[in-house]
Structure 1
């Protein structure tokens, strides 16, 4: 899906580092635009400079990185990223916010204007071809209501991404980083591991946002590996097995995968072929088990 791509224009000064937004600047920008954060778009704007600096430091981006940011909002994290990365491409679904971002960059990071572009689009619908380049790192304060789908979609679609550091609801962060056998281990945990090593990377309090959310936030990092096939069809097969295994997570895999395999007997046969106990449950399996199981379904 193509969106509207806007660049910030040529740099006007050689000041080395961007200025960052604080609470007063965030409110001034919102008032100027007539913006009230909406739950529909999952908007909570970070207004603490130390928090965005910490996110950028934890992401570990440098001048060699081209960063993909989702949901830049008023530009708090964007400005901090421009101070460290080689370039930033932001994807913003709200056309009002997207249209204001180039001016914000011109005002607060004039030396980095040429390193910034914004795409007005839904991150759930974009593909790599919609972007102006090949990003190496995803760094984002993801809207809570679509955080996991956006993360998995972008890791699937943008093959050039080597790392991802996302801020999500703390409960979601725990789920993404959960290990097999844990209480919150589930579909997001397994699918995230298809792309690489997943780890919890810190906590973020409520008081750094406007408006202040009712939940805590957490950082999750993914370091891409090439352990599993990147092609779309292989990933579709693996994700299909994962979905089936957790659709009825209280059932044994022999029963839970009966529909996927065609019958309980066929499910047991494929489970044994993959070296998996048919009486186990989905939460006991790691991503390697699901990949092995998906491969048994090949003709």
Structure 2
């Protein structure tokens, strides 16, 4: 068995991607971002405890499930230090209400409960949902729902639970989850527009995905429509990398924790309709290598698109990967007037 190594052993690696910002001249205006890659934790060997390799195997065997289900993207955290750091990244405090997606064997759930949170856990696997219920008993600090989060109506089921715990206060809940890597984009799209429910969303994702969401720079292959979506609804921050040795079964890639500080509606960019805005952005990136005057022809004529680009100070030959969020907002608002 491999040693449970650090969250990120060895010397800190340099950021592979720069923050989303406009390159230097000749581009007419520059977007400067204060976003930086988060800290990379130093070496910290895990000691056997409630969530080490053997206890995870015992938990699975107690349900006749020695092997996690690959179809559900199940990779369980072995190192309790990882869970503690994830809870700290979410700023979980006594009395907080936290949504946890995919609690698995309950290792992160345990850390959240120890921090004093009340946890609303959504687990797709009925065996694991039962395991978590049995592990923590009938505590009022935990509610486990057997459901697929991608089909779960959060406002219908979570909001009543949150109001019951918070009462008349307007305090927002938090999200802290070790997500199955295969549903990460779906979950991000589901949660980020919910700034009226959650103040922060902290997720364990595949490292490459976390880097792309937080740090993909414009004019790079990694820059996509999801980056515009993320910036519209939140302020993302890459927190730390988690080596693959800290999971069972060991995946082929490292994990990483990323934080999204959600914006409220008053902080969203000024667009007449988010639906039409993202329809335009998605259309633009469907033809990522095409110039916008070509990929957006179903919205306006090429000449009208060129005029709008020129009006906002961008070249008429601009492609979607050349535009930051503010550029897309101004382009959308100009085209909406045509």
TM-score, normalization by structure 2 = 0.74
Higher relative contact order (CA 8 A, sep 6+): 2
Aligned to 2:328: 290
Cα pair distance change 1:40/1:96, threshold 3 Å? same
Aligned to 2:150: 124
Matched, 1:235 2:262: no
Q: Deviations over 1:181-213 (max 9, x none)?
A: 344121222211111111111100001110000
Asked whether the equivalents of residues 186 and 246 of structure 1 are also in contact (C-alpha less than 8 Å), the reply is yes
Cα pair distance change 1:229/1:85, threshold 3 Å? farther
Aligned to 1:168: 205
Asked whether the equivalents of residues 258 and 266 of structure 1 are also in contact (C-alpha less than 8 Å), the reply is no
Measure the CA separation in 2 of the matches of 1:275 and 1:237. Answer: 22
CA RMSD of aligned residues (A): 2.3
C-alpha deviation, 1:284, in angstroms = 2.2
Asked whether the equivalents of residues 180 and 285 of structure 1 are also in contact (C-alpha less than 8 Å), the reply is yes
Measure the CA separation in 2 of the matches of 1:237 and 1:160. Answer: 23
Cα pair distance change 1:230/1:290, threshold 3 Å? closer
Greater fraction of residues in helix: 1
Asked whether the equivalents of residues 241 and 294 of structure 1 are also in contact (C-alpha less than 8 Å), the reply is yes
Matches for 1:262-281 after TM superposition, within 5 Å? 262-272=300-310, 274-281=312-319
Matched, 1:193 2:231: yes
Q: Helix, strand or coil: the match of 1:60?
A: coil
Cα pair distance change 1:229/1:159, threshold 3 Å? farther
Q: Which runs of 5+ in 2 are unaligned?
A: 1-48, 164-171
Q: Helix, strand or coil: the match of 1:162?
A: strand
> Which one of 150, 161, 168 corresponds to residue 187 of structure 2?
150
C-alpha deviation, 1:68, in angstroms = 0.8
Measure the CA separation in 2 of the matches of 1:152 and 1:85. Answer: 28
Q: Deviations over 1:73-122 (max 9, x none)?
A: 1111111111124311111111221122121123xxx8xx2111112111
Measure the CA separation in 1 of the matches of 2:304 and 2:238. Answer: 37
Cα pair distance change 1:189/1:85, threshold 3 Å? farther
Cα pair distance change 1:126/1:234, threshold 3 Å? farther
Asked whether the equivalents of residues 67 and 85 of structure 1 are also in contact (C-alpha less than 8 Å), the reply is no
Q: Helix, strand or coil: the match of 2:72?
A: coil
Cα pair distance change 1:204/1:193, threshold 3 Å? same
Cα pair distance change 1:52/1:256, threshold 3 Å? same
Cα pair distance change 1:272/1:84, threshold 3 Å? farther
Cα pair distance change 1:234/1:63, threshold 3 Å? farther
| Aligned positions, number | 274
C-alpha deviation, 1:215, in angstroms = 0.6
Asked whether the equivalents of residues 196 and 222 of structure 1 are also in contact (C-alpha less than 8 Å), the reply is yes
